[in-house]
C-alpha cells in the first residue's frame, strides 16, 4: 500500500515530567464518566448521540486551562462502525471481526509522520497481519482551543486484516495488542495509538465535552452506529492534559485516583520476569514489556494491566474483580467460594485502591464499579424500552418517569454489568458466582498458603556475634538515636518529642 501524504497538522504530546517545585503525583480531582447501552435493539446512531448528550451534560466535570477553550480531555468509545468504515476506508475490508482499525495520533511535523507510519506497519506485519490501508480522519481545528490546536496530532486510521491462520476474533485482538505494544516501544516522538481493535474505536482529544463531535465530524455521521457508548470528561489528576491521556482508553474510563499506584506499578514490574501465557508465547510476551508504559497516568496504568489480564484469557469481570476486589476480610455475608477467589488472587495482585469509579468495556459487555472505599458517585437506570444509562450523576438524559423500569447507585466493590450479547443487566451476585466457581480457588489457596503460625518453632536462642558498636551499626542505630530517643526515655520514662520544623523564609 502506498503511504498517505499528510498535510501539516498538530501532534500528540506526551505526559509532562515533574519539574521545579511541582510534582504531578500530588494533583487530585474528579472527572465525569458514563455510558449508554441498548439492550435488545441493533446498533444505531442514536446510541452515539445519546452518549454525546451524556458527555455534554458532564462538561462541568472537565477542567479547562488558562485558555478556556482548551479542555483537559473528552472522548467516546464505541463499537467499530462497520458500515461507515466500509464506505469511507477507501479499501476493501474483510468481514466484520476479521479486521482491526487503529486510531492513530501521528506527529505534528509532517517530516516525522513517515517514521511513525513505518513503525506501526512493520509491527503489524511482524504479527502476520495485513496492512490494508490508511484513512485520513477529518478534524476541525477551529473547534478546539488555541492551546489544544497548537499541539494537536494529525489523526489517521490504519486498517489491518487477519489472514486465515488466525482462528477467531479473540486471537486477532491479541495480535493487534502485541502489534500496538511493539510500535509503542519504539517511542516515536509525538506518536500514540488511541485504540487498535476489531471491536472498539476511540475518538478523544484535548477537548471540552461539547467540542468533541464538532472536532470529529465522523461522530455526527448517521452511519456511525453502535450498541454502546462509553464517554469521559477529564479533570487531569496526576498528569498534565495531553491528547494521548484523554479518556476513554482501550478498556476503561476512570474517575478518581489510584492511591496505591506506586506500589501497584512496582509490583507489576517486579513480576514481569514470571509472566507466562500459552496464548501469547514467550516471543510475543517479550514484546509487551514493560506492561505499564512509563509516564502514563494512573488511569492509563490501570488500563495497561486490565488489558493484559483480559487478553491473556480472563473474562472482563474476572480481571476487574482481580484488580478492584470488594472488602471481604471479616465479613460473614460473603460466600466461601467468593472469599476463596479473593484470597487466592490476593497472592497474585494487590488491590488497585482509589477513591475510584471505573467504567469498562470489551465491546461485548460494558459495566462499572466503585473500589471498596466507595468514595466516587455513580448512578444507573434502565428504561422500559431497553436503554441503560450509567454515569457520575443523575439527570444525564431526560427520561420520562413512566419509562423508567428501575434505577439505583453503584455500590463499593459491586459490579454493574451489561451483557449486550444476552441483552440484559447481569446481577452482581450472578457475575461473581460464575467467575468465582470456574476453578477451585479456595482449595488452591488453602493448599498453597503458608501461615507464620504453622512454621516450626526455634528452640535455640539466636546468638549475636560482634561488639556492641558492630551490633548498633548492623541494626542502624546512630548517636542521634541514643541521644534523642533512648536517653529521654530512660531518664524521664516518657516518649521523646521533637520537631523538624523551620520557620525561616525560603531562599527562593
Q: Active-site residues: which are they?
A: 31
d(CA 316, CA 247): 19
- Using DSSP, how many helices (H) and how many strands (E) does the chain show? 16, 16
Q: Any residues with CB less than 8 A from the CB of 131 and at least 6 apart, and which?
A: 1, 121, 124, 125, 158, 160, 161
Residue 171 neighbours by CB distance under 10 Å: 14
**Cβ-contact 435, 333 below 8 angstroms:** no
Q: Any residues with CB less than 8 A from the CB of 235 and at least 6 apart, and which?
A: 29, 30, 31, 61, 62, 63, 72
d(CA 197, CA 98): 10
Torsion of CA 349, 350, 351, 352, to 10 degrees: -90
Residue listed under C-alpha cell 454493574: 416
d(CA 173, CA 160): 11
3-class DSSP state of 236: coil
- The sheet with strand 404-409 has its strands ordered as 200-205, 74-79, 228-233, 32-38, 387-391, 379-383, 404-409
Amino acid at each position: 500500500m502506498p503511504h498517505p501524504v499528510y498535510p501539516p497538522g498538530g501532534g500528540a504530546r506526551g505526559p509532562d515530567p515533574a519539574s521545579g517545585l511541582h510534582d504531578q503525583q500530588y494533583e487530585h480531582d474528579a472527572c465525569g464518566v458514563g455510558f449508554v447501552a441498548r439492550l435488545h435493539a441493533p446498533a444505531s446512531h442514536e446510541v452515539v448521540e445519546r452518549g454525546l448528550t451524556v458527555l455534554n451534560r458532564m462538561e462541568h466535570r472537565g477542567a479547562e486551562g488558562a485558555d478556556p477553550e482548551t479542555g483537559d480531555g473528552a472522548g467516546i468509545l464505541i463499537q467499530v462502525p462497520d458500515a461507515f468504515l466500509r464506505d469511507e476506508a477507501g479499501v476493501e475490508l474483510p468481514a466484520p471481526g476479521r479486521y482491526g482499525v487503529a486510531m492513530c495520533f501521528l506527529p505534528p511535523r509532517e517530516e516525522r509522520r513517515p517514521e511513525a507510519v513505518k513503525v506501526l506497519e512493520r509491527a503489524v506485519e511482524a504479527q502476520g497481519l495485513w496492512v490494508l490501508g490508511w484513512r485520513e480522519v477529518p478534524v476541525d481545528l477551529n473547534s478546539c482551543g488555541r492551546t489544544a490546536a497548537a499541539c494537536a496530532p494529525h489523526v489517521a486510521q490504519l486498517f489491518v486484516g487477519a489472514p486465515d491462520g488466525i482462528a477467531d476474533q479473540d486471537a486477532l485482538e491479541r495480535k493487534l495488542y502485541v502489534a500496538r505494544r511493539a510500535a509503542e516501544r519504539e517511542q516515536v516522538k509525538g506518536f500514540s495509538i488511541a485504540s487498535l481493535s476489531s471491536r472498539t474505536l476511540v475518538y478523544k482529544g484535548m477537548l471540552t465535552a461539547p467540542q468533541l463531535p464538532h472536532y470529529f465530524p465522523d461522530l455526527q455521521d448517521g452511519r456511525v452506529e453502535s450498541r454502546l457508548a462509553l464517554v469521559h470528561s477529564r479533570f487531569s489528576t496526576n498528569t498534565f492534559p495531553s491528547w494521548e491521556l484523554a479518556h476513554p482508553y482501550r478498556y476503561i474510563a476512570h474517575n478518581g485516583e489510584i492511591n496505591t499506584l506506586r506500589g501497584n506499578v512496582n509490583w507489576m514490574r517486579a513480576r514481569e520476569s514470571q509472566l507466562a501465557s500459552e496464548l501469547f508465547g514467550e516471543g510475543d510476551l517479550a514484546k509487551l514489556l514493560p506492561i505499564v508504559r512509563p509516564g502514563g497516568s494512573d488511569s492509563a496504568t490501570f488500563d495497561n494491566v486490565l488489558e493484559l489480564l483480559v487478553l491473556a484469557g480472563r473474562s472482563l469481570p474476572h480481571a476487574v474483580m482481580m484488580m478492584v476486589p470488594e472488602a471481604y476480610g471479616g465479613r460473614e455475608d460473603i460466600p466461601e467460594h467468593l472469599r476463596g477467589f479473593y484470597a487466592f488472587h490476593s497472592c497474585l495482585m494487590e488491590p488497585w485502591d482509589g477513591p475510584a469509579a471505573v467504567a469498562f468495556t470489551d465491546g461485548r459487555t460494558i459495566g462499572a464499579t466503585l473500589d471498596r472505599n466507595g468514595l466516587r458517585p455513580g448512578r444507573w437506570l434502565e428504561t422500559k424500552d431497553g436503554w441503560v444509562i450509567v454515569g457520575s450523576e443523575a439527570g444525564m438524559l431526560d427520561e420520562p418517569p413512566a419509562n423508567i423500569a428501575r434505577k439505583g447507585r453503584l455500590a463499593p466493590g459491586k459490579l454493574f454489568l451489561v451483557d449486550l450479547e444476552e441483552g440484559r443487566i447481569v446481577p452482581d451476585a450472578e457475575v461473581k458466582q460464575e467467575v468465582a466457581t470456574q476453578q477451585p480457588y479456595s482449595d488452591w489457596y488453602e493448599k498453597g498458603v503458608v501461615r507464620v503460625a504453622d512454621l516450626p518453632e526455634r528452640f535455640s536462642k539466636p546468638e549475636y556475634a560482634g561488639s556492641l558498636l558492630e551490633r548498633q551499626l548492623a541494626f542502624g542505630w546512630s548517636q542521634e538515636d541514643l541521644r534523642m530517643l533512648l536517653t529521654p526515655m530512660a531518664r524521664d520514662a516518657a516518649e521523646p518529642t521533637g520537631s523538624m520544623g523551620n520557620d525561616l523564609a525560603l531562599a527562593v
